[in-house]
Structure 1
Amino acid sequence: MAAVVARASVALCSSSSSRRCSAGDSSSGLASSSLAGPSSAAPGRKLGSSVENLLLCKIVRGAGKQKVGSRVAAGVAAVGGVRSAGVNVQNEKNGKQSTLQENEDAKLLDLKEWMHAKGLPQCKVQLLERTCFGSNGKPIHYVAANEDLQPGDVALSVPLPLVVSLERVLGDETLAELLTTNKLSELACLALYLMYEKKQGKDSFWYPYIRELDRQRGRGQLSVPSPLLWSPQELNEYFTGSPMKKVVLERLEGIKREYNELDTVWFMAGSLFKQYPFDIPTEAFSFEIFKQAFVAVQSCVVHLQGVSLARRFCLVPLGPPLLGYKSNCRAMLKAVGDVVQLEVDRAYKAGDPLVVWCGPQPNSRLLLNYGFVDEDNPHDRLTVEAALETKDPLYQNKRITVQKHNLSTIQTFQIFKGKERDAMLSMLPYLRLAHISNPEDMQAVGSAEGAICATAVSPCNERAVLDQLKAYFSKRLSGYLTTVEQDTVVIEDENVDPKKRVATKLLRIEKEILGNALTVVKELIEQLPNGTVAPCNGSYIPKLV
């Protein structure tokens, strides 16, 4: 703590020679493109009087900016007329210079060549280009096989000095563990670091990598950015009826909480504070810029196994988003000694794009994090939450019974695509118990050995359970604006907006899961011994969400 206070004191004493920071210009952050969680204020409470120094630092900077601002305003007014006289000629020159500069940059700063110059050993991959929606005609890169590959071949080995990790960003592994333990996410720290590095331009060690991320603009392999960057109108239009809109809004709230903690991260991280003593994050970068950088980092962060917390989440040049994701792939970037290595799990021909496993994530998470939907995803699922009615006179008996069977009074059920029947059968015992209104039935169930309500409690109880499920799935399906057949027409339209297409793919999968579940419930109703039996609906039925 003494060291932190000392840094603040030195910064205050040297205010006259400090550099002014950007006030949130969009060029200061990474261009637009798990996982943002709630941030904790615990680190801030540990700073004590150092927070006062941080506030003094802001005051000193503010006073300096007012003086400089008045001089700049006067200068702009003085040269205004001269500047406007030659604007047409200057624009023409600027256009030519911009084109020449882009060509020069493309020639000198190729990412793979830069990595080889910095220690990347020879590998079996190459960078190829493909066209991309929303890239203004400019192609984007992807990693492809440079030769024929067989399962088990090592295609790529990136030395640790070319990997961006918290250990490198914060300069101290203990501090990295402190920050992550206190719920300041690794993604926020990495995003903050890259925003500062981008401010350095070509002077940054990571300039070729940051330039590549800007070129990708966080678009997934279907050329679509994360819905976190979509407009409110697009969210409302494309996700009507879907739980995806709520997921996006909750993640945005989490990112906002991360943004509000950035000053604490900057102040506690020795490397960032020393390098940018007056560039306080929330003043240097607007929330929009941070959100764009966060989403860009989110789309390419790699989760390494078997390493320290400070290295667990990292950014690997030539990794994602240049590598594609596939749900049924088993190839992963792994830490092997002092390199991060990719061993392929399938055969590739030269020129084929390489893919890695994205983890057991449903398509809602893939779209949120990476901007794509994998229709072959074996992990795709929808969630149904069942809650016991707390006002039920039998609530306490039911609570004791479910807890005895390792269940909860608010129980979550997963409906996996293609396994809807299994999901319905797993939900029935819980809902049978929840629908019991007769104290005698409750006593019999509570004292029974073995699984909870493994068989029907009574014909009318069974009918009440199935009727509730039927109404629930029917209601969810009615919330969508289109049918599965209409969705297929949209997906097959080559001229449709890619955002709409990828959103429609997700919604079609959701509808298929819900439709299959509804079909299973109807079949179970038809199988009842007496289909005409009336449901015994009590006054305290469970809530399904």
Structure 2
Amino acid sequence: MELSRLSLSENHFFSTPIPRSSISHRLPTLLSLCTNSRRRRGLCSASNSDTLVAATGKKRNEDDNDLKTWMHKNGLPPCKVVLKDKPSLDDSHKPIHYVAASEDLQVGLSTAANMGLGPVQNKAELLTTNKFSELACLALYLMYEKKQGKKSFWYPYIRELDRQRGRGQLAVESPLLWSESELEYLAGSPLKDEILKRIEGIRKEYNELDTVWFMSGSLFQQYPYDLPTEAFPFEIFKQAFAAVQSCVVHLQNVSLARRFALVPLGPPLLSYCSNCKAMLSAVDGAVELVVDRPYKAGDPIVVWCGPQPNTKLLTNYGFVDEDNSNDRLIVEAALSTEDPQYQDKRMVAQRNGKLSIQTFYVYAGKEREAVSDMIPYLRLGYVTDPSEMQSVISSQGPVCPMSPCMERAVLDQLADYFNTRLAAYPTTLAEDESMLTDGSLNPKRRVATQLVRLEKKMLHACLQATTDFINQLPDHSVSPCPAPYAPSIK
């Protein structure tokens, strides 16, 4: 549906930009937080001092003011959204909130939201060490902000993020926070190893916290607390990292230094959607969202999550999108460096836009095209005769079939590869589909099963495409060519 931009009038549902003169008493805007060091406020989770993501579902004495009321008190005009509850999948945790339309909304509605950007003062100083990411910088700063409790200007927003517990729209935490037994739900998927590597990366950043804290004293001087690693154990830092990751916005129309932002009425209160066109953009010191579809009162407001595969959606936001056109598998192929003709083959590969170690992306619904792209590259690795190699070098374009036995060898290697990947999963595709019909299925198990099911569907489609190519061979009795330097595939 084509987007249309309407002027900010009575139909806006967040807020108009706040005048710079009112900064000291109102919610900071994007530009003021980037330039005004007197109002460097953190925006992450919580209200007690020992966790960033609340560890229990115990009822606490909370202010009557919710997030939206707090925003109205600090400059948010009347708006046409409400915060609604979605029951938690765990009875020990509070319901999560989400932003919904308070009345019918039309396509093209242009909206703006006051926002806070994470700490940027001396951020370059922190990041030039190559030991600390922007998300880790935000997590550390916000953990210190959390220690101020109700004294923090951002306490209502911090409390709201604590309620969310880093949970996305399916009320499931990022796998970064799953137990070892829960990570087994991802057995067979490359995501399991990626999560473990990501956790180790977070641990390395945690081990650098004290160094960063000393290096950027001007950023942390207002917090008279112990060294970071003494004040916060690793598990709390990991929770903070996951919480920031679940709600950070990659803004459009800003410099790279300002791309990461935390928006009070943004994610995870806004639902992510991979097939919509609405996105958050910085406009004149505010965040603007142009809705791409009509909404009925009570409908959750959705925003584009960017071209992310489901592995990223699950890691960052705790959900899987069944209709994600950006979902993909990764296949890595590499020419053998022991091949006497390696340099010639490397040159031919580069001439055709490929590398000696080539990554192929298999997108959902485009598996046959991906297999067709892999075959010429694999053929190159099977060339052994020097005269054939000279023919390949002198020709233009991708490597064409050289012989029936080579073609059979290439296709057999691909079929074996896809079968091996499918065999690595402890369950079959049919078993996954049956499991998902169980309404009482553990929420983490459900979202993990959704992910591996979609991976298996892509692998089965790749295997079917390979089988179709094998069936097109003129002579099925031909034995595959020997391949002393066959490319590796992983």
Give the TM-score of the pair, scaled to structure 2.
0.87
Q: Distance in 2 between matches of 1:271 and 1:204?
A: 18
Q: Distance in 2 between matches of 1:384 and 1:488?
A: 25
Helix, strand or coil at the partner of 2:106: coil
1:224 aligns with 2:172: yes
Q: CA deviation at 1:426?
A: 0.6
Helix, strand or coil at the partner of 2:353: coil
Helix, strand or coil at the partner of 2:288: strand
Cα distance, 1:464–1:177 mapped onto 2, change above 3 Å: same
Q: Distance in 2 between matches of 1:428 and 1:310?
A: 41
1:152 aligns with 2:99: no
Q: CA deviation at 1:154?
A: 2.6
Alignment-derived partner of residue 119 in structure 1: 75
Q: Which amino acid in 2 is paired with 1:316?
A: V
Q: Which amino acid in 2 is paired with 1:337?
A: D
1:139 corresponds to which of 95, 104, 120: 95
Alignment-derived partner of residue 387 in structure 2: 440
Give the TM-score of the pair, scaled to structure 1.
0.78
Q: Which amino acid in 2 is paired with 1:31?
A: V
Q: CA deviation at 1:403?
A: 2.1
Helix, strand or coil at the partner of 2:221: helix
Cα distance, 1:182–1:124 mapped onto 2, change above 3 Å: farther
The within-5 A match list for 1:419-438 is 419-438=366-385
Alignment-derived partner of residue 232 in structure 2: 285
Helix, strand or coil at the partner of 2:324: coil
Q: Distance in 2 between matches of 1:282 and 1:314?
A: 25
1:253 corresponds to which of 200, 205, 213: 200
Unaligned runs of 5+ in 1: 1-24, 34-97
1:464 aligns with 2:486: no
Contact 2:119 2:141 in 1 (8 A): no
Helix, strand or coil at the partner of 1:114: helix
The within-5 A match list for 1:305-344 is 305-344=252-291
The within-5 A match list for 1:96-495 is 102=61, 105-107=62-64, 109-136=65-92, 138-155=94-111, 157-159=112-114, 162-167=115-120, 172=121, 175-183=122-130, 184-236=132-184, 238-449=185-396, 451-453=397-399, 455-495=400-440
More helix by share: 1
Q: CA deviation at 1:513?
A: 0.4
Alignment-derived partner of residue 44 in structure 1: none
Helix, strand or coil at the partner of 2:295: coil
Q: CA deviation at 1:250?
A: 1.3
Helix, strand or coil at the partner of 2:483: coil
Alignment-derived partner of residue 23 in structure 2: none
Q: Distance in 2 between matches of 1:517 and 1:415?
A: 8
Q: Distance in 1 between matches of 2:222 and 2:256?
A: 24
Helix, strand or coil at the partner of 1:492: coil
Q: Distance in 1 between matches of 2:334 and 2:248?
A: 36
Q: CA deviation at 1:311?
A: 2.2
Cα distance, 1:227–1:305 mapped onto 2, change above 3 Å: same
Helix, strand or coil at the partner of 2:75: coil
Contact 1:32 1:229 in 2 (8 A): no
Q: CA deviation at 1:28?
A: 2.3
Q: Distance in 2 between matches of 1:312 and 1:466?
A: 44
Q: Which amino acid in 2 is paired with 1:204?
A: S
Helix, strand or coil at the partner of 2:475: coil
Q: Distance in 1 between matches of 2:107 and 2:210?
A: 46
1:536 corresponds to which of 481, 485, 490: 481
RMSD, matched Cα: 1.8
Aligned residue pairs: how many?
Answer: 441
Q: CA deviation at 1:181?
A: 4.3
1:510 aligns with 2:455: yes
Q: CA deviation at 1:368?
A: 0.5
Q: Which amino acid in 2 is paired with 1:493?
A: D
Helix, strand or coil at the partner of 2:170: coil
State the percentage of identical aligned residues: 59
Higher Cα radius of gyration: 1
Q: Distance in 1 between matches of 2:228 and 2:51?
A: 11
Q: CA deviation at 1:26?
A: 8.6
Cα distance, 1:26–1:407 mapped onto 2, change above 3 Å: farther
Q: Distance in 2 between matches of 1:273 and 1:328?
A: 40
Contact 1:164 1:315 in 2 (8 A): yes
Cα distance, 1:106–1:129 mapped onto 2, change above 3 Å: farther
Contact 1:28 1:195 in 2 (8 A): no
Contact 1:166 1:311 in 2 (8 A): no
Contact 1:166 1:310 in 2 (8 A): no
Unaligned runs of 5+ in 2: 1-46
